[in-house]
């Protein structure tokens, strides 16, 4: 219903047929090298549990499950509004226990493409960036985690910049797996003149050492690997095209671009994730996911993106728009009830927040009109990555909150 299927490269797992390998560790449910699906299988599980537990006191409930949330919110985009009559929406799809969310970002997906001039040439080196933390392109975009795409582009660009008369040639570049995952891995197939191969590898290794001296501790497992490619001959793009390709990757906006300081904690209000880049047989395909808190920030980013595409001679396609859920703090009885129940049960105040991720609430509110919404969930870490984990204690606390909150409505 709402899961990103991702795994470590060395893990042999078929998401269509194999069960998720669960394990318990220090009070958390984890997996063995795959995404867990707690985002948002746990929300589905809570809703189903409410439908079966006759001991829970609650008003009439409409349980609303949507498909394809992670690949474009298609379920929320296309549901028939006649099926729903409720005016209060409790969304169980956030990942930080103790916080009640009242807003989320909107978003859009951008694909870009172009062809380069190429010729057949020997391929003699594969270079790979591995070991990065990655993470969710919304809730983790401000944490300063490295992008494998940007790292590999930086290293190659540094080499061709410092070696003006280089003979380095690029055949393929591949990075990223999904629009909402910060790329953890990237690889390139190269032709490196044999007399320069050793010095090229040494240059790249020195750049990685410099990067690790300044990166977050989460990315200290960053590694650069070199190997002989399986492909021995393929299309390589010209030196002029290589310069344009690497400059394009350097210029492409990536990361958190703007902060909204009106909340207790800083809230990213505009960001983009250079999610996927694939260059093969002289054809470039790329994908950017960008998020915004309001329509003005969307307009600003689209203007920047258009200028980027013109400068880099890219074919641009923008699709998958979904609106933001604009926070409503004042005159919100539904929120006040949630705050009161939380304080009574746990003897502390819930934090009231908005999130820089694409919850379906904005789309649902746009379709249903004047409804009250709050969103809450247990502690989930590493969503959209093989390190995804679900905390058992906060899951139990959430069930306690849900039963009391529903009884109060």
Sort strands 255-260 and 267-280 into parallel, antiparallel or unpaired.
antiparallel
Q: Which of these, 129, 182, 223, lies nearest to 382 by C-alpha position?
A: 182
Q: Which of these, 392, 358, 341, 405, lies nearest to 45 by C-alpha position?
A: 392
**Which candidate in 2, 6, 235, 372 is catalytic?**
6
Is 122 considered catalytic here? no
**Strand partners for 235:** 120
Residues 6+ apart with CB under 8 A from 362: 104, 106, 322, 323, 324, 325, 326
Contact 44, 50 (CB under 8 A): no
Is 96 considered catalytic here? no
Nearest 5°: the CA angle 32, 33, 38 is: 80
How would you label 1-23 residue by residue, b for 16+ Cβ within 10 Å and e otherwise? Answer: ebbbbbbeeeeebeeeeeebeee
**Strand partners for 187:** 128, 174
**Which candidate in 2, 39, 69, 234 is catalytic?**
69
Alpha-carbon dihedral 167, 168, 169, 174, rounded to 10 degrees: -170
Contact 179, 290 (CB under 8 A): no
Residues taking part in catalysis: 6, 69
């Amino acid at each position: 219903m709402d899961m990103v299927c991702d795994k470590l490269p060395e893990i042999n797992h078929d998401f269509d047929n194999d069960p998720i390998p669960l394990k318990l560790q220090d009070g958390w449910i984890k997996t063995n090298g795959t995404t867990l699906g707690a985002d948002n299988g746990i929300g589905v599980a809570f809703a189903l549990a409410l439908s079966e537990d006759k001991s829970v006191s609650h008003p009439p409930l409409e349980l609303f499950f949507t498909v394809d949330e992670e690949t474009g919110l298609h379920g929320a985009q296309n549901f028939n509004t006649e099926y729903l009559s409720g005016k209060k929406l409790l969304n169980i799809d956030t990942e930080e226990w103790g916080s009640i969310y009242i807003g989320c970002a909107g978003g859009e997906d951008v694909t870009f493409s172009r062809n380069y001039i190429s010729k057949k040439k020997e391929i003699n080196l594969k270079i790979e960036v591995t070991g990065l933390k990655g993470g969710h392109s919304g809730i983790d975009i401000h944490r300063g985690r490295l992008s494998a795409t940007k790292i590999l582009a930086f290293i190659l660009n540094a080499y061709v910049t410092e070696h003006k008369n280089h003979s380095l040639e690029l055949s393929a570049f591949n990075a990223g797996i999904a629009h909402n995952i910060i790329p953890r891995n990237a690889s390139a197939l190269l032709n490196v003149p044999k007399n320069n191969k050793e010095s090229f590898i040494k240059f790249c290794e020195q750049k990685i050492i410099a990067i690790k001296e300044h990166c977050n501790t989460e990315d200290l497992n960053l590694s650069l690997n070199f190997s002989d490619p399986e492909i021995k001959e393929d299309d390589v793009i010209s030196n002029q095209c290589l310069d344009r390709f690497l400059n394009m990757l350097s210029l492409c906006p990536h990361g958190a671009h703007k902060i909204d300081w009106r909340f207790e904690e800083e809230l990213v209000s505009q960001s983009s994730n250079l999610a996927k880049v694939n260059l093969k047989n002289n054809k470039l395909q790329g994908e950017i996911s960008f998020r915004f808190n309001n329509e003005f920030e969307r307009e600003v980013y689209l203007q920047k993106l258009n200028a980027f595409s013109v400068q880099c001679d890219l074919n641009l396609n923008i699709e998958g728009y979904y609106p933001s859920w604009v926070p409503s703090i004042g005159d919100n009885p539904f929120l006040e009830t949630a705050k009161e129940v939380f304080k009574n049960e746990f003897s502390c105040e819930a934090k009231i927040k908005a999130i820089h991720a694409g919850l379906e609430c904005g789309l649902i509110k746009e379709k249903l009109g004047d409804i009250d919404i709050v969103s809450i969930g247990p502690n989930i870490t590493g969503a959209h990555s093989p390190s995804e984990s679900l905390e058992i204690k906060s899951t139990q606390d959430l069930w306690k909150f849900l039963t009391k909150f529903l009884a109060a409505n």
